[in-house]
Amino acid sequence: MKTIEAVTYPVHFHSQSYQDLSNLIAKNNYSTIFILVDENTFEHCYPKFIPNLATDKRIEVIEIESGEINKNIETCIGVWNAITELGGDRKSVLITLGGGVITDLGGFVASCFKRGIDFINIPTTLLSMVDASVGGKTGVDLGVLKNQIGLFANPEMVLVDTSYLETVNEREIKSGTAEIIKYGITYDVKLFNEIKNNKNLKINDLIFRAVEIKNEVVLKDPKEKDLRKILNFGHTLGHAIESFYLESENKDNLTHGEAIAIGMVCECFMSSKLLNFPKEKVAEVKETIVSIYTKTILLKEDFTAIMDLLKHDKKNVNGQVNFVLLNDYEDFKLDCKVPEELIIESMEYYNS
């Protein structure tokens, strides 16, 4: 595997990655290396990671609790206080070692500490490898509203070592798969077909292609003015569903991928009603997704709460929800207004 050159930083996949990381640290002469982990990545990933880091700099580990529920400003305050107490300064670097919560929150923490210190992303879940660790988005949730507070900020390097995937369970792998499906449907249908046919999947190749696509999209439109909005496909309704399960104390949370998988089925359905997206492709997407994920029936009594959460989507303007929909695979249309009844109908279609 080779290196993908993102806007201001490299994404390394090859076997020399750790050497490149050590070289970067030596070159930048950091004062202290902070490593942000959660209890899982500290137990399972840190012991694999640390022997590969060749440096004589001081290393300090900061652990936060795992889970989307902890991806908030209060956790950031804890990390900022920890870095402060451990003598962090402007020449410190923060290495994020974990899934999307760690990379999103860590990037935000680093970018705001003393008006910005360097950070390096080492994603350890499929989701963070293919999505969260590249593209310059950092952030945390505000209450249950996803990524409401954050910044565009680029890491100095991303290191993708797929051997960390041995440390995560199947449900996590499936969560990341949803983002690969999204790249397939919106940008490269070959990738979707590979997953749909599910024969001899080469995970490393899928990850590489996913990062390549995300990078192409982000390079063309870093600030999400137009093209980049395709990365939100499935996420508009998906985020609202994810937030709804997050705030419902008597329901188990969905993973991010499970929620946006539902979102993609619904948004394909909307596309078929409002645009010319073919009905048989809606069925194909639904079938593929239902074959991968345990089906979560959305209760009718919950539709109102989900619709309310939709109103906080970051793409909204003047209270109007803006969907990214599809004319066909690889052919999107931005800023689609969808009548409320059709959104509800799409959830009923998913349930059916």
Q: What Å distances lie between residue 179 and 71, 111, 119, 131, 187, CA to CA?
A: 20, 25, 24, 7, 12
Residue bearing tokens 């970051």: 314
58-77 residues near a copy of itself, rule: CB under 8 A = 73, 76-77
Find the distance separating the first CA and the last CA of the chain, reported in whole Å.
42
Minimum distance between the CB of residue 197 and a copy of itself, rounded to whole angstroms?
Answer: 37
CB neighbours (10 Å) of residue 341? 8
Among 78, 92, 75, CA closest to 29: 92
CB neighbours (10 Å) of residue 133? 29
CB 264 within 8 A of CB 238: yes
Minimum distance between the CB of residue 166 and a copy of itself, rounded to whole angstroms?
Answer: 33
Minimum distance between the CB of residue 268 and a copy of itself, rounded to whole angstroms?
Answer: 25
145-174 residues near a copy of itself, rule: CB under 8 A = 145, 147-152
CB 286 within 8 A of CB 268: yes
307 is a site residue for a copy of itself (CB under 8 A): no
* Binding characters for a copy of itself, 25-64, by CB under 8 A (x = yes): ------x---------------------------------
- Of 311, 335, 339, 340, which lies in the binding site for a copy of itself, with binding defined by CB under 8 A? 311
156: its two tokens: 């100095």
Q: Which stretch binds a copy of itself (CB under 8 A): 44-52, 82-90, 163-171, 259-267?
A: 82-90
- Which residues lie below 8 Å from residue 142, measured CB to CB, with a gap of 6+? 72, 73, 148, 149
- Of 250, 318, 341, 352, which lies in the binding site for a copy of itself, with binding defined by CB under 8 A? 318
Binding residues for a copy of itself, total number by CB under 8 A: 36
87 is a site residue for a copy of itself (CB under 8 A): yes
Minimum distance between the CB of residue 317 and a copy of itself, rounded to whole angstroms?
Answer: 5
Minimum distance between the CB of residue 75 and a copy of itself, rounded to whole angstroms?
Answer: 11
Among 121, 140, 118, CA closest to 131: 121
Minimum distance between the CB of residue 165 and a copy of itself, rounded to whole angstroms?
Answer: 29
Exposed/middle/buried for residue 2 (C-beta within 10 Å: 0-12, 13-18, 19+): exposed
95-154 residues near a copy of itself, rule: CB under 8 A = 111-116, 137, 139, 142-143, 145, 147-152
Residues forming the site for a copy of itself (CB under 8 A): 31, 73, 76-77, 80-81, 84, 87, 89-91, 111-116, 137, 139, 142-143, 145, 147-152, 311-312, 314-319
